[in-house]
Chain A
Amino acid sequence: MTRSRTAYLLVAPGLLWLLVFFVAPVVQLASVSLQSPFPGYPGYYYRDVNVGNYVVALTQFAPQLGRSLLYAAIATVLCLALAFPLAYTMVFKAPRWRGLIMVLVVAPFFTSFLLRTIAWRQILADEGPLASSLRALHLLPGGHLTETAAAVVAGLTYNFLPFMVLPLYASLERVDPTLLEAGADLYGSPWQTFQRVTAPLALPGVMAGTLLTFIPAAGDYVNAELLGSEHGTKMVGNVIDAQFFRVIGGYPIAAALSFTLMAIILALVVVQVRRFGTEHLT
């Protein structure tokens, strides 16, 4: 009796915070996404069930929506490819340096991700060292490194890499190294040992890392803004940002787009949870 009352008291503040600052705003956003503009008063809306906002969101901005999902998916795969060797090395090859490497992975956060993305923009700039030497070697067919889709994807990969490293490390750390030795003792080649032992044991980390990189990457607009071009690399976040802050009367469309993005991501999460179970996600 007292035990359950204590439990409620402990849960209440956090639950209340989430209800007020997460659930209520999302419900409000849902209602805005159905509002209609007040005729003759730009920037004012009335309550409505205007499904047309979703039609506009899905037709007019379909390229940006698709691009967001595609860029985020490629960046997630690249993150996995880069994070796995690092996490593997931390756990199995350099256990003494684990702590230090962990610090080094998180520390760049403090330089501010904007400052680091701006630095990438300058490093990759047309007059920068990388682009000019590649041009001199005739290895740069388009002539540019920035303002390309590749630059946006590279930026996303860079920015969300730590979110892949941390969960991968956490799950590999729980792997008993003697299992790997057993794999080798049973005449498994390194590749077989990796395939049959290491990879399945790392799966929970891969799942968590995939979600933690894909979700923020799909909603990001800073990389597209700083590394992409004016046309052809904009993501859905750029549209939402612009509709909110720069387009008068854009609120309902922005809300509808936000909601669509959230629905797509939740659907993907549910599919993944169904396939792999929930306990590994959080």
Chain B
Amino acid sequence: MRRRLADHAVTIVAVLVLVYLFVPVAYTFIFSFNDYKKSNIAWNPQGSPTLKHWADPCGAPGVCEALGTSLQVGLVATAISTVIGTSMAIALVRLRARGRRLTDVLVFLPMATPEVVLGASLLTLFVQGFSRWGWQLGFWSIVAAHVMFTLSFVVVTVRARLQSMDPRLEEAAQDLYAGPWETFRTVTLPLLAPGIVAAALLSFALSFDDFIITTFVSGDVTTFPKYVYVAYLRGIPAEVNVIGFSMFAVATVCAVVARLVVRRAVPPSSS
């Protein structure tokens, strides 16, 4: 009996934690119907809920440009860091490159450095270094910074997947006279795919949501989080809530659909 109770307590806490994670998301959703200029500060006392911000999410000046910039930065940075991070992980695990220990440390260090330090140091380098050679702060400096801090997460995620893969599968392919490239393309890559997808999603999420490093290296360019921060000081337009909640909804739906498709495609016994 006592055991049952403790059992249930754990589950109840788990459910409460999930609810806790969603409280502010729900707040954002509710206040997206707020008919008030400073939408996040108070509910308009006279106004009833309105759909007008959902009809025109780009109604607040600059908000959709900022969203577009964030999506572009996220996509470009994710593409670069997924490719170079995956190849790094493969070289470190399978090919046992020399200087592995040093590379491991170098990959780990950006994760062990607070964002404010990463941002501050990049800004210093740009101001006192790169800008003298004509590289000003802007879109590409944000991309460079985002690739740098997502790279480690890609290497770690893909490496974990590689380490749990049976190396005998690749050896078998080679025994069957497959060349190194053929082995990689037909055996390693398909087995690695879930790890690569997870790494790419993680780096996109981290890049899209990054604020601290971005404020240091973005110059005049405005990303979505930066827009939210600047708008906060004047009063956040409700369109921001519409976009914030929609991004969450789109991400959730995509993830759920992707899982259903994968479950369909892979017979249960092999998953």
Interface residue? A172 (CB, 8 A) = no
User: In A1-51, which residues have CB < 8 Å from any B CB?
Assistant: 3-4, 6-8, 10-11, 13-15, 17-19, 21-26, 28-29, 32
Are B24's CB and A119's CB within 8 A? Answer: yes
Residues of A contacting B18 in the complex (Cβ-Cβ under 8 angstroms):
86, 101, 104-105
Interface residue? A99 (CB, 8 A) = yes
Residues of B contacting A247 in the complex (Cβ-Cβ under 8 angstroms):
none
Interface residue? A197 (CB, 8 A) = no
Residues of A contacting B91 in the complex (Cβ-Cβ under 8 angstroms):
6-8, 10-11
User: In B1-29, which residues have CB < 8 Å from any A CB?
Assistant: 3, 6-7, 10-11, 13-14, 17-18, 20-25, 27-28
Are B107's CB and A282's CB within 8 A? Answer: yes
Interface residue? A269 (CB, 8 A) = yes
Are B25's CB and A116's CB within 8 A? Answer: yes
Are A123's CB and B17's CB within 8 A? Answer: no
Interface residue? A221 (CB, 8 A) = yes
Are A4's CB and B228's CB within 8 A? Answer: no
Are B116's CB and A241's CB within 8 A? Answer: yes
Interface stretch (choices B52-60, B167-175, B185-193, B207-215): B207-215
What's the minimum C-beta distance from B174 to chain A, rounded to whole angstroms? 12
Are A10's CB and B88's CB within 8 A? Answer: yes
Are B112's CB and A108's CB within 8 A? Answer: no
Are B241's CB and A104's CB within 8 A? Answer: no
What's the minimum C-beta distance from A107 to chain B, rounded to whole angstroms? 5
Interface residue? A106 (CB, 8 A) = yes
Interface stretch (choices A52-60, A135-143, A253-261): A253-261
Are B252's CB and A123's CB within 8 A? Answer: no
Are A266's CB and B112's CB within 8 A? Answer: yes
Residues of A contacting B208 in the complex (Cβ-Cβ under 8 angstroms):
109-110, 112
Task: Tell which of B116, B216, B229, B255 has the most Cβ of chain A within 10 Å.
Answer: B116
Residues of B contacting A28 in the complex (Cβ-Cβ under 8 angstroms):
121, 124-125, 128-129
Residues of B contacting A112 in the complex (Cβ-Cβ under 8 angstroms):
208-209, 211, 224-225, 228, 244, 247
**Assembled-state Cα–Cα distance A28/B124 (Å):** 7
**Assembled-state Cα–Cα distance A112/B66 (Å):** 13
**Assembled-state Cα–Cα distance A3/B123 (Å):** 38
Other-chain residue from B88, B104, B148, B211 in contact with A222 (beta carbon distance below 8 A):
B211
Are B14's CB and A111's CB within 8 A? Answer: no
17 A–B pairs (Cβ distance < 8 Å), ordered by A: A7-B96, A8-B97, A22-B118, A90-B14, A93-B11, A106-B205, A106-B251, A107-B251, A109-B251, A110-B244, A116-B24, A118-B232, A211-B112, A215-B113, A219-B114, A219-B212, A282-B107
B interface residues, Cβ below 8 angstroms from A: 3, 6-7, 10-11, 13-14, 17-18, 20-25, 27-28, 31, 40-42, 84-85, 87-88, 90-92, 95-98, 103-104, 106-118, 120-125, 128-129, 144-145, 147-148, 151, 155-156, 159-160, 180, 201-202, 205-206, 208-209, 211-212, 216, 224-225, 228-229, 232, 236, 240-241, 244-245, 247-248, 250-252, 255-256, 259
Q: Name 17 extra pairs, CB < 8 A, besides A28-B125, A109-B251, A190-B3.
A: A7-B96, A18-B151, A83-B17, A106-B205, A115-B24, A117-B24, A118-B236, A119-B40, A120-B23, A123-B27, A215-B113, A219-B114, A221-B116, A221-B212, A237-B116, A237-B212, A265-B114
